[in-house]
Structure 1
Amino acid sequence: MTTAPTTTTAPLLSATDLHVTFPGRRGGAPARAVDGVDLDIAPGEIVALVGESGCGKTTLARTLLGLVTPTSGHVTFAGETLTHTSRALKAYRKRVQLVLQDPSGSLNPRHTVYDAVAEGLRIHGYAGDEREAVASALSRAGLRPPERFFLRYPHELSGGQRQRVVIAGALVLEPELLVADEPVASLDASVRGEILALLLSLRDELGLSALVVTHDLGLAWNIADRVAVMYLGRIVETGPVEAVLTAPRHPYTRALLSVLPESPGDPVILAGEPPDPARIPGGCRFHARCQVLASGEADAVADACRTRTLPILSGATDAQVACHWTQ
């Protein structure tokens, strides 16, 4: 668990009532991949976005990056609403950079490390000393001395070194926010800690903000200041990482935590698969799989769970939960 930095009141990035729908299959109902999300990220803050595969977290991250245009709602960065013109997106992507989970897929095998890191500079017409900028980025990413890596190719590097090259390619543009999608999922356990420590040091040294997308609550504990738990297109619990992960209130968060090796008690096995985002159930969207409702513990609010829709959680930093049982 990290200690949250002192941040300014105004968020660096804000999503407000964000919705993203995709056309249904064969003319069916549209899929509501992101179905009402408010999320703030403060300067110098690391937020972990967690949830099962298919919950919408990657679509939300791509929307925050400007790679997907929201159906409704908007994204604000540094006080300005993101527009999806080519010029606006090019300027935005210099300030907000993506780090993908698979460094092998992110790097062109025919490009040297130098060219991989310099690519962003060339796209954005960098007018300074390119060699110095590349060397500085590699050094910040932990590849020292940087010149030793200039002429190497991805296949000559370890998995951890390739991920550091990807991070250097993001850092070379001196962004204010990194969006890291499962940044250590493809790495050996021995290397994961090094990459997480690197991301934390970048926050401390450069004041970088980060959104870390992951299914791993253990990773969230180790790196995040704040966590947002997503289920079926909506954030269902959010707050400071210590508050959420030591005293989870939403049954879904409890189930995710129960499968961690260090978790006391038996793991909670959720019934079935997450519902189709084209057929989101009424009431609480988790009610069909909720272990608390199934056990009878939530009988007093069972009707509300099945019929009454919960409000969208705000993007603020305080602990919040969307659950009738915990109200």
Structure 2
Amino acid sequence: MTSVEESPVTAASLLAAVGLRVTFPGRRGASAARAVDGVDLDIGSGEIVALVGESGCGKTSLARTLLGLVEPAAGRVTFGGAPLSYGSRALKAYRRRVQLVLQDPSGSLNPRHTVYEAVAEGLRIHGYGGDERAAVAEALSRAGLRPPERFFLRYPHELSGGQRQRVVIAGALVLEPELIVADEPVASLDASVRGEILALLLRLRDELGLSALVVTHDLGLAWNIADRVAVMYLGRIVETGPVEDVLTAPRHPYTRALLSVLPESAGPPVVLTGEPPDPSRIPAGCRFHARCQILASGEAETTGVADRCRTEDLPVLPGSGPAAVACHWAAAQVLGA
């Protein structure tokens, strides 16, 4: 694996990405697609971080790499300060400590397995030597399915969407992980149930000290659940920081556009032109410049950064710390203040 320049990982970091790059082969001889193109990201103990962006921005590839499902082309993943090893035994031990919660509980659960079997599966894979029934009951109870024994012999089709998602969460909790990666955890649920699942994740953080990376396209969800937010576009994090700082005073034009479509947004929605560029042909300069409303309006020209937006790349943002943004125009705004 390619070596990377050392990047500081804070002492409180539980899971961290340092200089992470993930590529996939191009079609018919095309250049490799750079799904993750230089990312630093830290998740602290007991912290919830929201990874936000449009479909195709690389957030799922980043999450899969943090889970050890994809080996990076460059950079490294560390857990508890130790680099992640990709041997089968090491990965099995790692995945007991870091669990995945998928967005579609119907697709995550085997329709032929009872709730008990679904939750106990992880225990059996990892050779759990304790009281299986008690562990399954406790996990279901923590996930809000009480009394747990009432759900043991039920099948997924007998449950509501919210209950199925709680079963998926229980299946992750039964192994007593330190961190969960939740990929769009409420996207498939009715609005009335979403708040309950988000409240459950917050309660698990408070009661168990559980950390979480929540992957979502919804900045409103990030506002309701996250301590920090990382906004991703075309393989890179373009804005990051405490959720209050980023979402109340967004500095990157892309973050502003994402926020503008929320129902509670004060101004008119920003309609971005076109689609995100092909990750095998990332443009020069700021990778957002072809769709940037600030550049299109002439404001970047007035500020004197238009040429830099089109030609000058931006540095990788730090994985933790105060709010940071990768934007020539935002940097010029600060200097001119």
TM-score, normalization by structure 2: 0.94
C-alpha distance in 2 between matches for 1:195 and 1:35:
32
Distance 1:316 1:193 in 2: 27
Give the SS at the match of 2:274: coil
Q: Aligned letter for 2:72? A: P
1:317 aligns with 2:324: no
Segments of structure 1 that go 5 or more residues without pairing to the other structure are: 1-7
Letter of the 1:326 counterpart: A
- Whole-angstrom CA distance in 2 between matches of 1:93 and 1:265: 44
Residues 206-285 of structure 1: pairs in structure 2 closer than 5 A: 206-285=208-287
Q: Please give the alpha-carbon distance, in whole angstroms, between the structure 2 residues aligned to 1:10 and 1:76.
A: 12
Task: Give the superposition deviation at 1:141.
Answer: 0.1
Q: 1:317, CA displacement in angstroms?
A: 2.6
Aligned to 1:121: 123
Q: RMSD of aligned C-alpha atoms?
A: 0.7
2:7 maps to which residue? none
- Pairwise CA distance, 1:43: 0.1
d(CA) in 2 for partners of 1:73, 1:91: 21
Give how far 1:79 is off. Answer: 1.2
3-state SS of paired residue (1:69): coil
* Match of residue 52 from structure 1: 54
Q: Determine the C-alpha separation between the residues in 2 that align with 1:131 and 1:21.
A: 43
Q: What is the number of equivalent residue pairs in this alignment?
A: 320
Q: Equivalent residue of 1:267, what SS?
A: coil
Could you give the per-residue CA deviations for residues 90-114 of structure 1, whole angstroms, max 9, x where no partner exists? Answer: 0000000000000000000000000
Amino acid across the alignment from 2:318:
S
Equivalent of residue 102 in structure 1, options 101, 104, 115: 104
For residue 21 of structure 2, give the secondary structure of its aligned residue in structure 1.
Answer: strand
Could you list the per-position Cα deviations for residues 192-222 of structure 1 after superposition, in whole angstroms to 9, with x for gaps in the alignment? Answer: 0000000000000000000000000000000
The answer as to 2:291 corresponding to 1:289 is yes
> Alignment partner for residue 176 of structure 2, among 174, 185, 197?
174
Shift of residue 19, structure 1, vs aligned partner? 0.2
Shift of residue 9 of structure 1? 4.0
CA contact (8 A) 1:243 1:319 kept: yes
User: Post-superposition shift, 1:151?
Assistant: 0.3
In the alignment, what sits opposite 1:149?
A: 151
Q: Matches of 1:317 and 1:47 in 2, distance apart?
A: 13
**Paired amino acid for 1:52:** E
Q: Which residue of 2 aligns with 1:4?
A: none
Match of 1:140 among 117, 129, 142: 142
Partner of 1:112: 114
Which amino acid letter does the alignment assign opposite residue 306 of structure 2? A
Cα distance in 1 for residues equivalent to 2:36 and 2:190: 31
Hey, what does 1:304 align to over in structure 2?
308
Give, in whole Å, the separation in 2 of the partners of 1:13 and 1:20: 17
Which secondary structure state, in structure 2, belongs to the residue aligned with residue 39 of structure 1?
strand
Contact 1:226-1:317 within 8 A present in 2 as well: no
SS at match of 1:325: helix
SS in 2 for 1:317: coil
Amino acid at match of 1:236: V
What one-letter code is carried by the residue in structure 1 that aligns with 2:195?
Answer: G
Structure 2 residues without counterparts, runs of 5 or longer: 1-9, 332-337
Give the Cα separation in 2 of the matches to 1:116 and 1:14: 30
What is the CA distance between 1:318 and its match in structure 2?
A: 1.2
Equivalent position of 1:26 in the other structure: 28
The list of structure 1 runs, each at least 4 consecutive aligned residues, that deviate by more than 2 angstroms after superposition, is none
Cα distance in 2 between the residues matched to 1:47 and 1:282? 29
